[in-house]
Structure 1
Amino acid sequence: MPTHPVKQPEWIDSAPIIVEETIEIDATPDTVWTHITDHASWPEWFEALDEVQPGSTSTGVGGTRRVVIKPLAIEEEFTAWDEGEHFAFAIVGSKIPMLAAAAESVRLEAIVGGGCRVTYRQGVEGRRFLGALMKLAWTPAAKGLAPALASLKQRVEAAPA
Structure 2
Amino acid sequence: MARRLRPVGLEFVETAPLRLVFAREVSASPETVYRALADDMTAWPQWFTAVTLCQPIDCADGGKGRAVRLKGGTRFWETIVAAEASQRYAYRVDETNAPGLRALVEEWRLTPAGTGTRVQWTFAADGVAPFRLALKLGRPGMGRAFRDAVTALDRRLTAANA
Which category of TM-score, normalised to the shorter sequence, fits these structures? 0.7 to 0.9
Higher strand content, 1 or 2: 2
- CA displacement at 1:62 relative to structure 2: 2.9
Percent same amino acid among aligned pairs? Answer: 26
User: What's 1:67 paired with?
Assistant: 68
User: What's 1:29 paired with?
Assistant: 30
User: What's 1:135 paired with?
Assistant: 135
User: What's 2:104 paired with?
Assistant: 102
Residue by residue over 1:28-63, the C-alpha shift from the partner in whole angstroms, topping out at 9 and shown as x without a partner, is 211111211211000111110111121137xxx931
Contact map agreement 1:25 1:157 (CA 8 A) in 2: no
The answer as to 2:89 corresponding to 1:87 is yes
User: What's 1:155 paired with?
Assistant: 156
Contact map agreement 1:29 1:109 (CA 8 A) in 2: yes
The RMSD of aligned alpha carbons is: 2.2
- CA distance in structure 2 between the aligned counterparts of 1:42 and 1:11, rounded to whole angstroms: 24
Contact map agreement 1:77 1:89 (CA 8 A) in 2: yes
Contact map agreement 1:98 1:134 (CA 8 A) in 2: no
When the two structures are superposed, what TM-score results if normalisation uses the length of structure 1? 0.84
Which runs of 5 or more residues in structure 2 are unaligned? none
Aligned length in residues: 156
Contact map agreement 1:125 1:134 (CA 8 A) in 2: no
- CA displacement at 1:101 relative to structure 2: 0.8
Q: Which moved more, 1:116-125 or 1:141-150?
A: 141-150
- CA displacement at 1:131 relative to structure 2: 4.5
- CA displacement at 1:137 relative to structure 2: 7.3
Contact map agreement 1:89 1:105 (CA 8 A) in 2: yes
- CA distance in structure 1 between the aligned counterparts of 2:94 and 2:138, rounded to whole angstroms: 17
When the two structures are superposed, what TM-score results if normalisation uses the length of structure 2? 0.84
- CA distance in structure 2 between the aligned counterparts of 1:143 and 1:5, rounded to whole angstroms: 28
Contact map agreement 2:37 2:89 (CA 8 A) in 1: no
